[in-house]
Chains A and B, each alone.
Chain A
Amino acid sequence: MEIQSLENIIAEHPFFAKLDPAHIGLLVGCASNVRFEPGKYIFREGEEANHFYLIRQGRVSVEISPPQRRPIVVDTLDEGEILGWSWLVPPYQWRFHARAVDSTRAIALDGKCLREKCESNKELGYELLKRFSQIVGGRLDATRLQLLDLYAAH
Chain B
Amino acid sequence: MADTIRVRIVADQIGQLIRSLAHRDYAIFGPAVKDGAIVYDRIEEIGDLPRGLTDHQEAGRYSLVPRQDQALFGYVLGPQSWKKYFHPARVKLFDARNDDGVFQILPNTASPARPVALLGVRACELAAIAMQDRVLQNGPYADRIYAARRAGAFLVAVQCTQSAPTCFCHSMGTGPAVAAGTADITLTEMDVASDHWFLAEAGTDRGAEVLSELSFAPATDTQCRAADEAVALARTGQRRHLDTAGLRDLLIENFEHPRWDEVARRCLVCANCTMVCPTCFCTDIEDASDVSGTHAERWRRWDSCFTTSFSYIHGGSVRTSPKARYRQWITHKLATWIDQFGTPGCVGCGRCITWCPAGIDITEEAQALRGTVNHGNTES
The answer to whether any beta carbons of A and B sit under 8 Å apart in the complex is yes
Which A residues have a C-beta under 8 Å from some C-beta of B? Answer: 154
Question: Complex: how many Å from CA A154 to CA B314?
Answer: 8
Tally chain B residues at the interface, Cβ within 8 Å: 3
Selected A-B contacts with CB under 8 Å, 3 pairs:
A154-B314, A154-B315, A154-B316
Could you tell me the dominant secondary structure of chain A's interface residues?
loop
Q: Which residue of B lies closest to A152 (CB)?
A: B315
Chain A residues closer than 8 Å to B314, beta-carbon distance = 154
Interface flags, B314-340, vs A, CB<8A=1, else 0? 111000000000000000000000000
Chain B positions within 8 Å of A154 at CB level: 314-316
Q: Chain A's nearest CB lies how many Å from the CB of B314?
A: 7
- A80 to chain B: closest CB distance in Å? 36
CB-CB contacts of B266-282 with A at 8 A, as 1s and 0s? 00000000000000000
Which residue of chain B lies nearest to A154 when distances are taken between CB atoms in the complex? Answer: B315
The residues of B with any CB-CB pair to A shorter than 8 Å are 314-316
Chain B, interface SS category: loop
Q: Which residues of A sit under 8 angstroms from B315, Cβ to Cβ?
A: 154
In the complex, what's the smallest C-beta–C-beta distance from A143 to chain B, in angstroms? Answer: 21
Give Cα A154 to B313, complex, Å: 11
Question: For the complex, what is the distance from the CA of A154 to the CA of B312, rounded to whole Å?
Answer: 13
Q: Which residues of A contact B316 (CB under 8 A)?
A: 154
Within the complex, what minimum Cβ distance (angstroms) separates A90 from chain B?
Answer: 41
Closest chain A CB from B259 CB (angstroms): 31
Considering the complex, give the chain A residue whose CB is closest to the CB of B315.
A154
The docked-state distance in angstroms from the alpha carbon of A154 to that of B316 is 9
- Alpha-carbon separation in the docked complex, A154 to B317 (Å): 12
Q: How far is the CB of B101 from chain A (nearest CB, A)?
A: 25
Whole-angstrom distance from the CB of A153 to the nearest CB of chain B? 9
Question: In the complex, what's the smallest C-beta–C-beta distance from A137 to chain B, in angstroms?
Answer: 28
- List 3 tightest A-B contacts by C-beta distance, closest first: A154-B315, A154-B314, A154-B316
- Distance in angstroms from B265 CB to nearest chain A CB is 30
Shortest CB-to-CB span from A19 to chain B, Å, is 44
What is the minimal beta-carbon distance from A61 to any residue of chain B, in angstroms?
30
In whole Å, how far is B59's beta carbon from the nearest beta carbon of chain A? 41
Bound-state CA distance A154–B315 (Å) is 6
Query: What's the Cα separation between A2 and B316 when bound, in Å?
Result: 59
Name the distance in Å between A150's Cβ and chain B's nearest Cβ.
10
Task: Tell me the complex Cα distance, A14–B314, Å.
Answer: 42
User: A149 to nearest B CB, angstroms?
Assistant: 11
Closest beta carbon of chain B to A87's beta carbon, Å = 40
CB B377 to nearest CB in A, in angstroms, measures: 45
Once the chains are docked, how many angstroms separate the CA of A97 from the CA of B315?
34
A73 to chain B, nearest CB (A): 26
